[in-house]
Chains A and B, each alone.
Chain A
Amino acid sequence: QQKVQQSPESLSVPEGGMASLNCTSSDRNFQYFWWYRQHSGEGPKALMSIFSDGDKKEGRFTAHLNKASLHVSLHIRDSQPSDSALYFCAANTNTGKLTFGDGTVLTVKP
């Protein structure tokens, strides 16, 4: 069983809309959770990290972590066409090994 599972596989939202991405882990050793974004032809780039229960907001992006259920989500408000990309949830322990989910393809339609 994959240790980091993401849903949905793909998501389409209108410009200005809210996009919600989900991630569940099966390993309670994970301490840090990350959201990375990858545009076509580029390497992934970190959007934000979260390691405490609750919400963390950075601009239009809000991450939410529930450690009890090992569930983390990412919400993008006022979505823009430039937000269209592959979004990865990733988690690691203090060893540095980052485990990635398979990603969610987000399409923002003008």
Chain B
Amino acid sequence: GGIITQTPKFLIGQEGQKLTLKCQQNFNHDTMYWYRQDSGKGLRLIYYSITENDLQKGDLSEGYDASREKKSSFSLTVTSAQKNEMAVFLCASSIKAGGYEQYFGPGTRLTVL
């Protein structure tokens, strides 16, 4: 089996600050994803990366940047933190894009002061 590690577990920032969340997977999966989950609601896709040198926007990409540094790591940057985007950010990976199971990390909880 494998594991997805997200750092930090809790992230506190000031309004307007640029903040970076990191994700590592050791499944050797091609595809990685970033989702945002607001207070126990459903997940919304921010960015995904089909393969190592690919980057695709999801439904909620405005205000975020992403970077796939290597096959095992995928970072998400909040370009200017806003109070209305306090949420849990979840990273996931799958063996390939398509109808394959996505494996999720434990999440990073973002608080904006």
Q: Enumerate chain A interface residues (CB-CB to B < 8 A).
A: 4, 31-32, 34, 41-46, 49, 51, 86, 88, 92, 94-103, 105
> 21 A-B residue contacts at CB 8 Å?
A42-B106, A43-B90, A44-B90, A45-B104, A46-B102, A46-B103, A49-B99, A86-B40, A88-B43, A94-B98, A96-B50, A96-B96, A96-B98, A97-B45, A99-B45, A100-B42, A100-B43, A101-B42, A103-B40, A103-B41, A103-B42
* Complexed CA–CA distance, A72 and B103 (Å): 22
Are A46 and B48 in contact (CB-based, < 8 A)? Answer: no
| A79 → B minimal CB distance (Å) | 20
Scoring A32, A34, A43, A49 by chain B CB atoms within 10 A of each residue's CB, the highest score goes to: A43
Nearest opposing residue in chain B for A48, CB measure: B101
- Nearest first, the 7 A-B pairs at minimum CB distance are A96-B97, A43-B104, A32-B99, A100-B42, A102-B42, A100-B43, A46-B101
Q: Which residues of B contact A32 (CB under 8 A)?
A: 99
* Complexed CA–CA distance, A16 and B82 (Å): 45
Q: Enumerate chain B interface residues (CB-CB to A < 8 A).
A: 4, 31, 33, 40-45, 48, 50, 58, 90, 92, 94, 96-107
Are B98 and A95 in contact (CB-based, < 8 A)? Answer: yes
Are A98 and B45 in contact (CB-based, < 8 A)? Answer: yes
* Complexed CA–CA distance, A92 and B58 (Å): 13
Nearest opposing residue in chain A for B50, CB measure: A96
* Complexed CA–CA distance, A42 and B92 (Å): 12
Nearest opposing residue in chain B for A45, CB measure: B104
Q: Which residues of B contact A96 (CB under 8 A)?
A: 31, 48, 50, 94, 96-98, 100
Nearest opposing residue in chain B for A46, CB measure: B101
Nearest opposing residue in chain B for A42, CB measure: B106
| B98 → A minimal CB distance (Å) | 5
Q: Which residues of B contact A4 (CB under 8 A)?
A: 42
Q: Which residues of A contact B42 (CB under 8 A)?
A: 4, 88, 100-103
